[in-house]
Structure 1
Amino acid sequence: MNENLFPEKQACMKHPLIKPDTVEQRLYQLNLAGKALEGSSLVVLPTGLGKTIIALFVIASRLQRFGGKALILSPTKPLVDQHAAFFKKVMTLPEDEILAFTGSIAPAERERLWAQGKLIVSTPQVIENDLLTKRISLEDVSHITFDEAHRAVGNYAYTFIAEKYFESAKNPHVLGITASPGSSDEKIAEVCQALHVENVAVKTEKDRDVRPYVQEKELEWLQVQLPAEMAEIRSYLEKIFDDRLGIIRELGFSAGSGKYVSKKDLLLLQKQLQDKIRIGGDPAIFSAMSVVAEMMKVNHAVEMVETQGLETLRKYLEKLEAEASSSSSSKAAKRLMDDLYMRKALYKVKECEVEHPKLALARKIVSEQLDQNPDSRVIVFTNYRDTAEIVANALSEAPGVFPIRFVGQGSRHKDKGLTQKQQAGILDKFRAGEYNVLVATSVAEEGLDIPSTDMVLFYEPIPSEIRSIQRKGRTGRQQKGRVIVLVTKGTRDEAYYWSSKNKEKKMLNSMHGLETTFTPKASKKRAELSDFESLPCNSDSKLKIEEIEMINEDKDGNGINISPEDLRKNGDNKDVALETGAYLETGSDENEKKDANEKADVNVDVNVDEKADVNADVNADEKADVNEKERQKTLVDFEALCGNKSVNKPEISGKEPETEPLRIVIDHRETKCGVAKTLDRLGMELSFAALEIGDYVVSNRLAVERKRTDDFASSLIDGKRNLFAQLSDLARVYEKPVLIIEGEDLFTSRQINPNAIYGSLVSIAIDFRVAILYSRDEEETASILKLLAKREQTENKNEINPHGKKSAKSLTEQQEYLISSISNIGPKAARNLLLHFGSVEAIMQADTEELKKVKLIGPKAAARIREVLESPYKG
């Protein structure tokens, strides 16, 4: 290596908008920033190498050249706060012009702050909501940075913001930054299309100009053998699975083409059955759906015993057992738990005291690491909260090991999540050394600003290349790091390990291919740079601009190229001009670390960080593969065909010429879904309000309640959902009440007898006189709403006027609600208590023994009531 290229004393960059001596100069960052300034770009750079610094360079140049505002979008509040603190530290802008926007700031206050801000760092959901409600405009925003740009897919807020930005901005320019954009060409292309990317720039740890800044990472994978006792339990579960597979085949269906049936195969079969249910009501299809639900649960149990251990499996099976014994249980759950082999497996799990060998190995590895280096910081990643708790408890038994569990904010199944304040407190204590091991779920995969972490332990491999890269990026930032992956031989651990590894290779190949495809032609780039350099600094900058120096392009036209001679010629200054010739500098990349919400590939009900329904137990990549089937035409497509718009999705945003815009009033809670965004694309005038009745009001006589299929099905078995009370109010207040049921799995989202669903639909239509409409997805719902609005406002000339309040609960209902709000006290138990004691006050005065005399009130429920009543309020 030519040491002259990288002198020991690194220079700092100079720029009127960057404070002197704050940001170290790195050649690869200058090169990437130069390419990014040629046009809207996606920059792919390994974690810890200063993606935020590149964003800083681009922002400084864009603000200096075009004035206006710059916007930085990050997925979570901790990341927003982190980035805002960094930019205040290194930029010369007044601190009151560098603002952090999150949901904790009132909308009216955000509107006021937006007018004064020069650089706004925000969560995307906040900006999306403010755009929908017309509180802000992106017209004078001269640059947007999309942090963790791989999220710009599907209905995520990034896609809508980018679309509105390029519609309205005078000088739009985008920078997407990520360490892991995805393994397939399709996924990466989707990100590029969503962000209007013209240019892709990629750097890897093996590139010559990056290598001096990369710390060595030692990657090991250690294998363990599944104990005989666990293998026996697995054999019981596999017998159940094979039996159900035989039933599926007898019913005339097939799952998978080979001997091994994967979660992907099961999900695909489930989707095929759902499609058949919509066509006809063959009883065999409903039977097959019920059997597939059992197979999904068993498949997950097998994964638990193979990769997690008996304690995690025990908790899962006990939860299935409780589900099967509940009054609202499905036939599938009851049938599964009544199976002889399931009873054997459950008995064996409860009796067996063997722990998974991974646990002892993890304890040994962490102990040795901390013995050798007491100042070490270690992160242990697990997929499941239950496992995280087990691992943390096991590690705490080792001398010198002080572990803490680090999970997300969601609270499910008696496991309370951590607030953002609690998460920040844990991380502070971890950095300070009060805890030296962080046992974390996927919440810690992105954004941890912990430079001293020198070992990352994967308790199990994960099949997602994005998450694998993010996990490995937590170590080896400013010192040598170790990455250790624990793998159980002969199990899906091995499949997941190689899947992730192959996807990482594929991703790198795809990125280099796209880099070549997206690189602007040299002639075009030269013209752009020439025009750019000839422009004066925008007067909005308020700063004196230094003399502009010209920059050389490399022979391939790939951006800024600074020769070793130029570096040496600069002597101690080594200042390098970027774009405008004004000097830039780079610095510590420790502020680039990110803290993200949990996003797990394996969505199962045992993992309380993720979805509760085990029927969704499938890797996110597998979901995408399953959904690649050709989609039938929707109402959105139909509307496009009937008008002058193209059927292509990007053209949906075209607005039809109308004498007066169609209006719709939307409940403010509906901003989280994609319906409002599609209505905006369709040219409707949106108003948001706190609606007591209905989700969408399209005229003074017509309002709409929207229910996703899973919400609708759940409301039939969960009295607290109160769907019929909502529809009763809707029909009472509006002359034309409408219910839109959205989704394609009405009969399969929950294991409910189809006759119960049909009966409910009949009751809604006949008894409540509510019109029922169906849509496939959010886009189709939006198209239906627009047609309703057009009919009411244009053809029938009805004004739009939201009105009406929810009907008040009767005194009896309020009393029952008050008692049933105590955890473990259902509606029936609440009624029994009120009948027995006669009043709420009498219940409050009863002791534990008196409470236990009431039917459905056992010792635990009685103790819980007294605990709620007697415990001091801590605020």
Structure 2
Amino acid sequence: MNESLFPEKLACMKHPLIKPDTVEQRLYQLNLAGKALEGSSLVVLPTGLGKTIIALFVIASRLQRFGGKVLILSPTKPLVEQHTAFFKKVMTLPEEEVLAFTGSVAPAERERLWAQGKLIVSTPQVIENDLLTKRISLEDVSHITFDEAHRAVGNYAYTFIAEKYFESAKNPHVLGITASPGSSDEKISEVCQALHVENVAVKTERDRDVLPYVQEKEIEWFQVQLPAEMAEIRSYLEKIFDDRLGTIRDLGFSAGSGKYVSKKDLLLLQKQLQGEIRMGGDPKIFTAMSVVAEMMKVNHAVEMVETQGLETLRKYLEKLDAEASSSSATKAAKRLMDDLYMRKALYRVKECDVEHPKLELARKIVSEQLEGSPDSRVIVFTNYRDTAEIVVNALSGIPGVVPIRFVGQGSRYKDKGLTQKQQGEILDKFRAGEYNVLVATSVAEEGLDIPSTDLVLFYEPIPSEIRSIQRKGRTGRQHKGRVIVLVTKNTRDEAYYWSSKNKEKKMLNSMHGLEAVLGPTGSKKGSKLSDFESRAVISDIGGKKIEGEEKERARHENRDLTIDPTDTAVDLDCDRVSKESKEEENEEEKERQKTLIDFETLSGKESAYKTKVPGMESSEIEPGTVPLRIVIDHRETKSGVAKTLDRLGMGLSFAALEIGDYVVSDRLAVERKRTDDFASSLIDGKRNLFAQLSDLARVYEKPVLIIEGGDLFTSRQLNPNAIYGSLISIAIDFRISILYSRDEEETAAILKILAKREQTENKRDVNPHGKKSASTLAEQQEYLISSISNIGPKAARNLLLHFGSVEAFMKADLAELKKVKLIGPKTAARIREILESPYKG
């Protein structure tokens, strides 16, 4: 290696927009920034090696060359605040031009600040909402950085923002940065397609130009033996599982092809059964669905006892027991908790006080780390909140150890989450040393800037390569770090460990393959390498294996590793059910997904990035026509329906609707229900579905219910007759039209057709009812009259202008009413009927 390439102290970057002596010049960062400037790019770089610095170089270059604004998107508020502080510190821009946008900034204030901002750091949901509501435009944005770019899949806000950006910007340019884009070609390709990536650049810790900046990271795995008491409880659960598996086979179905039946196998079987229900509805299919629901719960219970311990298992089983005893319990829940072996397992869990050996090992490892280095910081990762609490309690009694639990915002069963303010305070105290052990769930995986973390302890392995890489990246940033993984012998811990390692290796191979296809092929128009002072050398790849891994891999190579990448069970107290798991379940249905081969011809083909909506030929609006409008409840912005409507060229307005989710005319409003939400509302009195639909039918002449999804009869294992009875009641008793859609895109297509029918063919105005939003007296008078069916805003104004007051309108007879423009004989008769008819309650 040429040592002169890496002097002991490199010079700092010199650029008009970067403050002098604030950013060290590293050749590999310059190399990656140069590649990124040759076109919209995805940069893959291990955590702690300066992905934000690369973004800084690209941003400075784009601002200097094209002006306008730049946008940096990060998935969480803490990351937004972290990035904002960094860019204020190192850039020469006035502080008032470097802004942070999160949900805590009022929409009207964001609109005002957008006009003055030059560099805006934001959560993607905020920008998505502001684009939908037309508060901002991306026309003058000359660059967007997508932090944690692996999130740009499915319905995540990144995909919509990128689409709108390339539609409207004068000089669009994108940089996606991530340490872990995913192991499969399909997922990596989906990220690239969503962000309109032209180039891919990859660096690893083993590359020659990166190696001098990499701190040694020692990775170890410690094994423990499952105690006999826990093995006994596991045997009871396995007997239940095997019995249900036999039932499934007796019904003519199969789960998995190997010795072990994983959660992925159960999910595939569930998907198969759902498809067969749609085709026919044989009673044995419903029985099989109910049995599969039991198996998934038992499967999770086995995971609890193997990988977490009896306290976590006890909480889970008590939750299942409470569920089975409730009035809304499913047959599956009752049958499971009535099983003799389940009662035995529950009894043994309650009387047994043996703790999982991982707990004592965790105490020993953390204690030794802090004894040897009292200024150390330690992060312990657990998959479940209950386990995090148990670990904190176990560590609290050790002298010199000051642990704190760090979880997400969402509240769970008997467990309230942390607000973002509380999360920020905990991290500040952790950095300052008030706490020296952070016991965290998945919320701490991405982006935490804690340079002094010396040890990362995995309480259990995780099969997701993305999350594994993110966790390991919390250490070894500025000095040597350790990663320790705790593994229970002969359990799914071992399968998860090797699954994750195999996927990491596969991801690296896929990324280099994609880099070969999409890497820069020479100087392109728009390249601006001259903005920087030097270029990096070509890298090579080498590496070493963890001692003893080959032997263990050989021992496990025949074990079933077809595990769901984010294997979590149904109805768990898990901190996050990763989006990746649902994406993997639905992979076969993703018709628009591309493979690496498809990317060979993507460059320059805009049509490759267009999203087609079923039933819609084009989203273009014909010249001279008034665009169709829909008023949407503001809570629906979280769904993909609003984004698809925007793509279809619809005029969208957002409001706090008390009745209905979508209003397409003065007489037609739509309530949208996902199949799981619809089924849950039938057994959960708090959801009050029929009260919602009653209001919809009372206020709107043409009420519509859209049921979205393909698992109406399987999402909650309800008796089919209960669902049929509810549908019949909605259609006949409430006189509500019921429409069905497969997904959010099809729902949007239906809404557009409804709007076209009402607004273009029937000339109806859009007029939401059920909420007094008027502020002036005139508006309140108009609203009062327009709330009568068949009277739109124009007709209401005509009536008030003709009669002069609401009271005079109320007293007008049939003949007088018919004299008013837009009021025909039928409408006049309807008005008099409403005003004169006795109220019957």
Cross-structure match for 2:792: none
Measured in 2, the distance between the counterparts of 1:622 and 1:163 equals 24
Note if 1:679 corresponds to 2:648. no
CA contact (8 A) 1:739 1:772 kept: yes
Cross-structure match for 2:693: 727
Measured in 1, the distance between the counterparts of 2:136 and 2:343 equals 60
User: Any idea what SS the aligned residue of 2:739 has?
Assistant: strand
Shift of residue 726, structure 1, vs aligned partner: 1.0
Residue correspondence of structure 1 range 215-230 to structure 2 within 5 A: 215-230=215-230
Cross-structure match for 1:178: 178
Note if 1:650 corresponds to 2:611. yes
CA contact (8 A) 2:254 2:269 kept: yes
Measured in 2, the distance between the counterparts of 1:456 and 1:610 equals 20
User: Any idea what SS the aligned residue of 2:163 has?
Assistant: helix
Note if 1:447 corresponds to 2:411. no
Taking structure 1 as reference, are residues 550 and 440 closer, same or farther at Cα in structure 2, changes over 3 Å only?
A: closer
Note if 1:760 corresponds to 2:719. no
Note if 1:402 corresponds to 2:439. no
User: Any idea what SS the aligned residue of 2:611 has?
Assistant: helix
Note if 1:85 corresponds to 2:85. yes
Shift of residue 646, structure 1, vs aligned partner: 8.8
Cross-structure match for 1:868: none
Cross-structure match for 1:871: none
Q: Which letter maps to 2:169?
A: A
Measured in 1, the distance between the counterparts of 2:717 and 2:403 equals 40
CA RMSD of aligned residues (A): 2.0
Note if 1:315 corresponds to 2:315. yes
**Could you tell me which of 581, 585, 598 is aligned with 1:626?**
585
Residue correspondence of structure 1 range 91-490 to structure 2 within 5 A: 91-490=91-490
Deviations 1:810-837 (A, max 9, x none): xxxxxxxxxxxxxxxxxxxxxxxxxxxx
Measured in 1, the distance between the counterparts of 2:63 and 2:635 equals 35
CA contact (8 A) 1:13 1:25 kept: yes
User: Any idea what SS the aligned residue of 1:476 has?
Assistant: coil
Cross-structure match for 1:823: none
Measured in 2, the distance between the counterparts of 1:359 and 1:466 equals 26
Deviations 1:572-610 (A, max 9, x none): xxxxxxxxxxxxxxxxxxxxxxxxxxx965254332423
Measured in 1, the distance between the counterparts of 2:420 and 2:202 equals 33
User: Any idea what SS the aligned residue of 2:8 has?
Assistant: coil
Measured in 2, the distance between the counterparts of 1:367 and 1:708 equals 49
Deviations 1:399-431 (A, max 9, x none): 221111111111111101111111111111111
Taking structure 1 as reference, are residues 204 and 186 closer, same or farther at Cα in structure 2, changes over 3 Å only?
A: same
CA contact (8 A) 2:61 2:531 kept: no
Shift of residue 398, structure 1, vs aligned partner: 1.7
Taking structure 1 as reference, are residues 734 and 497 closer, same or farther at Cα in structure 2, changes over 3 Å only?
A: same
Cross-structure match for 1:640: none
Measured in 2, the distance between the counterparts of 1:362 and 1:660 equals 66
Measured in 2, the distance between the counterparts of 1:316 and 1:550 equals 57
Taking structure 1 as reference, are residues 741 and 649 closer, same or farther at Cα in structure 2, changes over 3 Å only?
A: farther
**Could you tell me which of 763, 768, 775 is aligned with 1:802?**
768
Taking structure 1 as reference, are residues 220 and 550 closer, same or farther at Cα in structure 2, changes over 3 Å only?
A: closer
Residue correspondence of structure 1 range 586-735 to structure 2 within 5 A: 601-610=567-576, 623-630=582-589, 650-652=611-613, 654-658=618-622, 659-735=625-701
Deviations 1:38-72 (A, max 9, x none): 00000000000110000000000000000000000
Measured in 1, the distance between the counterparts of 2:512 and 2:84 equals 32
Measured in 2, the distance between the counterparts of 1:757 and 1:444 equals 41
Shift of residue 2, structure 1, vs aligned partner: 3.1
CA contact (8 A) 2:59 2:70 kept: yes
User: Any idea what SS the aligned residue of 2:766 has?
Assistant: coil
Query: Runs of at least 4 residues of structure 1 off by over 6 A?
Result: 548-552, 645-648
Shift of residue 112, structure 1, vs aligned partner: 0.8
CA contact (8 A) 1:264 1:623 kept: no
Measured in 2, the distance between the counterparts of 1:422 and 1:341 equals 43
Structure 2 gap ranges (5+): 540-564, 593-605, 773-841
Shift of residue 87, structure 1, vs aligned partner: 0.5
Q: Which letter maps to 2:696?
A: L
Shift of residue 796, structure 1, vs aligned partner: 1.3
Deviations 1:278-325 (A, max 9, x none): 222211011111110000000000000100111111111111111111
Q: Which letter maps to 2:730?
A: I
Note if 1:788 corresponds to 2:754. yes
Measured in 2, the distance between the counterparts of 1:647 and 1:81 equals 35
CA contact (8 A) 1:264 1:622 kept: no
Q: Which letter maps to 2:641?
A: V
Cross-structure match for 1:593: none
User: Normalised by the size of structure 2, how large is the TM-score?
Assistant: 0.84
CA contact (8 A) 1:413 1:608 kept: no
User: Any idea what SS the aligned residue of 1:150 has?
Assistant: helix
Shift of residue 10, structure 1, vs aligned partner: 2.0
Shift of residue 526, structure 1, vs aligned partner: 4.9
Taking structure 1 as reference, are residues 362 and 669 closer, same or farther at Cα in structure 2, changes over 3 Å only?
A: same
Deviations 1:154-203 (A, max 9, x none): 00000000000000000000000000000011100000000000000011
Taking structure 1 as reference, are residues 72 and 668 closer, same or farther at Cα in structure 2, changes over 3 Å only?
A: same
Shift of residue 343, structure 1, vs aligned partner: 1.0
CA contact (8 A) 2:568 2:574 kept: no
CA contact (8 A) 1:602 1:620 kept: no
Deviations 1:496-522 (A, max 9, x none): 000000000000000011111002332
Measured in 2, the distance between the counterparts of 1:231 and 1:145 equals 50
Deviations 1:526-582 (A, max 9, x none): 5543xx58xxxxxxxxxxxxxx78978xxxxxxx44799xxxxxxxxxxxxxxxxxx
Shift of residue 257, structure 1, vs aligned partner: 1.2
CA contact (8 A) 1:442 1:600 kept: no
Q: Which letter maps to 1:282?
A: D
Measured in 2, the distance between the counterparts of 1:646 and 1:563 equals 34
Measured in 2, the distance between the counterparts of 1:433 and 1:249 equals 57
Taking structure 1 as reference, are residues 402 and 604 closer, same or farther at Cα in structure 2, changes over 3 Å only?
A: farther
Structure 1 gap ranges (5+): 534-547, 553-559, 565-598, 612-618, 634-644, 807-875
Deviations 1:710-750 (A, max 9, x none): 11111111111111111111111111000001111111111
CA contact (8 A) 1:739 1:771 kept: yes
User: Normalised by the size of structure 1, how large is the TM-score?
Assistant: 0.81
Q: Which letter maps to 2:353?
A: E
Deviations 1:798-857 (A, max 9, x none): 111112249xxxxxxxxxxxxxxxxxxxxxxxxxxxxxxxxxxxxxxxxxxxxxxxxxxx
